[in-house]
Structure 1
Amino acid sequence: MNLRPRPRREGDGLIDGAEYVLTREDFRTIARIMREEAGIALPESKATLVYSRLAKRLRTLGLGSFAEYCELVESQQGGAERQEMLGALTTNVTRFFREPHHFEHLRSRILPPLMAHARSGGRVRLWSAACSSGQEPYSIALTVLALLPEAPRFDIRILATDIDRTMLATGRAGLYEASEIAAVPPELRERWFEPANNNSPKFRIAEAARSLVAFRPLNLIGTWPMRGRFNAIFCRNVVIYFDDETQKQVWARMVPLLEEGGALYIGHSERVSGPAERALGNDGITTYRLAGAREMRG
């Protein structure tokens, strides 16, 4: 493929003394793609972050400038690299039982009647949106197993979705460093994790937990193929990267996917906004419940 670098003026780089020049035009191109592809808003104040994460891609690809890189990701042949860019610029901070008050609410308020429902043949569905490398959905699975160790025998499933396919692959593998599972309560860690093998320092989460979780690619601003409703949705620390209007749209799309009385858990820096506010009632710290079937207008 013949890439033609865009002309550049001297001194128009956003990062002083950098190995590669990142111009405002380059940054605007990258920001536009991130907004179109993932709904993520990148202000120019994020230029240093963008540079540090994408400079590695330039080195890997053997490109000489961000202008060449932009040419690539905008080309018809650049689909794979656009996915690499999305992965590089998506924040994947996660850990087991992050924001533990959510899991205590799930354990004490949401799951007990659902476990009884499952024992009598009922369906239970939970969704971890923006699941990253799997710690969140597996924390949900461990919370289920703490109440119902035989959960895989029943119709209980956890959908785990993310835009980053590399993170999804990590989640499916279910392998984590000892430092990563340190936040798991000791009784759960001892029962549901085991050394991967004699030559690996990693630990694998038990098959019982893995069997409850289905990892699938999904873009929160794209098409959602799910048709059934969920008893709880975890969508935490992701919409904060969207602009206000996109946030409202995401919350509004989640409301019809909640069962009556279902819970929505959001990040500590987030708030439900837009039409969804009228359908959801506060039920704890960054925790909401769908009180009943309410039609949303506007």
Structure 2
Amino acid sequence: MTGAARLTAEQLQRLSAFVYRQTGMLFGETKRYYIERRLAERYTATGIGDFASYLGHLRSDATERETLVNAFTINETYFYREEHQLACLSRALLPALIATRRPGDKIRIWSLPCSTGEEAYSIAIWLLENWRLVDAYNIEIIGSDIDTRALEAAREGLYGERALSRLPPRLRDCYFEPVRRHRRRIIRDLRESVSFAPANLVDAASMAVHGVFDVIFCRNVLIYFDDESRLLAAGTLYDRLAPGGFLCLGHTESMSRISPRFEICRFEDATVFQRPADA
């Protein structure tokens, strides 16, 4: 099958509801072409040619569910995206956190969703370049995403020119090795210093297995959620933050409109949200 799979309004609603339950992301009539194209790809891959048969297959096959979710996720990112938050991390958030720590203590940072790894690796590069105490503490950086294909790409660490376009040439030369025309791989030391594992913002159990973090970057995903999913995600993020920990959202997102549990912290470089130290 080529082109798009044509869906009735009722079929579109059923598939959108399934994706919503799995991811918290809202798709509907305005995304019809996007949905039908993705579904046609799965029809071709599975050899199933009608909606009812595919939906039955989807419900009985965990691998196909994972593959469909991967097909619907949006991976739009690049290195040093929203750089002002990285500046806030080194200038304000980490100094606040180490005020009650000793050298050698662990500091855990979570990039969620991490897409193909650019954000998680950006955090590592930024700290190496801009935080003079980076070697004095045990910094653990984890990237997570619902898209298992994106996680595989993150572990591989292979990037094109667009992903690297915001990095100064010196950093590209220092932290990336040319592997073929217009492609570079992040150096082994950095690939081994950042770990990647799956997590789903609207699945508390998949979040809980990763423990608690001092800083969570969760940027530009809540804009795809409805109010119910945002509130659920806010609860899981709150639970995954250590008391006194910080949450960084995208520049168009605000936790104050979702949950009253977080405190607003306005720093010179960015506004972030904090789990109260006594909560």
Contact 2:244 2:278 in 1 (8 A): no
Q: Is residue 2:189 matched to residue 1:202?
A: no
Choose which of 101, 124, 134 in structure 2 pairs with 1:141.
124
Equivalence map 1:8-23=2 (5 Å): 20-23=5-8
Choose which of 80, 98, 101 in structure 1 pairs with 2:81.
98
Match in the other structure for 1:65:
50
The alpha-carbon distance between structure 1 residues 289 and 240, as it changes in their structure 2 partners (threshold 3 A), is closer
Contact 2:246 2:274 in 1 (8 A): yes
Question: Which range moves more in the overlay, 251-260 or 47-56?
Answer: 251-260
Q: Is residue 2:260 matched to residue 1:247?
A: no
Q: Is residue 2:23 matched to residue 1:38?
A: yes
Contact 2:6 2:36 in 1 (8 A): no
Amino acid at match of 2:260: E
Where structure 1 has 5 or more consecutive residues not aligned to the other structure, the ranges are 1-17
Task: Give the percent of matched residue pairs that are identical in Structure 1 and Structure 2.
Answer: 34
Question: Which range moves more in the overlay, 281-290 or 88-97?
Answer: 281-290
Match in the other structure for 1:27:
12
Question: In the TM superposition, what is the alpha-carbon distance from 1:250 to its structure 2 partner?
Answer: 1.4
Count of residues in Structure 1 that have an aligned counterpart in Structure 2: 274
Q: Tell me the alpha carbon deviations over residues 49-102 of structure 1, each in whole angstroms, 9 at most, x when there is no partner.
A: 11122222222333333343223213x2x2211111111111111111112221
Question: Which range moves more in the overlay, 127-136 or 211-220?
Answer: 211-220
Match in the other structure for 2:276:
292
Match in the other structure for 1:8:
none
Higher-Rg member (1/2): 1
Question: In the TM superposition, what is the alpha-carbon distance from 1:160 to its structure 2 partner?
Answer: 0.7
Contact 1:118 1:156 in 2 (8 A): no
The alpha-carbon distance between structure 1 residues 29 and 275, as it changes in their structure 2 partners (threshold 3 A), is closer
Question: In the TM superposition, what is the alpha-carbon distance from 1:226 to its structure 2 partner?
Answer: 4.0
Q: Tell me the alpha carbon deviations over residues 164-212 of structure 1, each in whole angstroms, 9 at most, x when there is no partner.
A: 110000000111113321211333222111113xx56421112232222
In the alignment, the residues of structure 1 paired with residue 265 and residue 136 of structure 2 have an alpha-carbon distance, to the nearest angstrom, of 33
The alpha-carbon distance between structure 1 residues 262 and 37, as it changes in their structure 2 partners (threshold 3 A), is same
Question: In the TM superposition, what is the alpha-carbon distance from 1:117 to its structure 2 partner?
Answer: 8.2
Equivalence map 1:207-218=2 (5 Å): 207-218=188-199
Provide the TM-score with structure 2 as the length reference.
Answer: 0.86
Amino acid at match of 2:199: L
In the alignment, the residues of structure 1 paired with residue 210 and residue 113 of structure 2 have an alpha-carbon distance, to the nearest angstrom, of 18
CA RMSD of aligned residues (A): 2.8
Q: Tell me the alpha carbon deviations over residues 257-287 of structure 1, each in whole angstroms, 9 at most, x when there is no partner.
A: 3345432111223221467434321425873
Contact 2:256 2:264 in 1 (8 A): no
In the alignment, the residues of structure 2 paired with residue 117 and residue 194 of structure 1 have an alpha-carbon distance, to the nearest angstrom, of 38
Provide the TM-score with structure 1 as the length reference.
Answer: 0.81
Q: Is residue 2:202 matched to residue 1:221?
A: yes
Contact 1:39 1:242 in 2 (8 A): yes
The alpha-carbon distance between structure 1 residues 261 and 143, as it changes in their structure 2 partners (threshold 3 A), is farther
Question: Which range moves more in the overlay, 187-196 or 136-145?
Answer: 187-196
Amino acid at match of 1:221: V
User: Which protein, 1 or 2, shows the higher relative CO under an 8 Å CA cutoff with sep ≥ 6?
Assistant: 2
Question: In the TM superposition, what is the alpha-carbon distance from 1:249 to its structure 2 partner?
Answer: 2.2
The alpha-carbon distance between structure 1 residues 38 and 58, as it changes in their structure 2 partners (threshold 3 A), is same
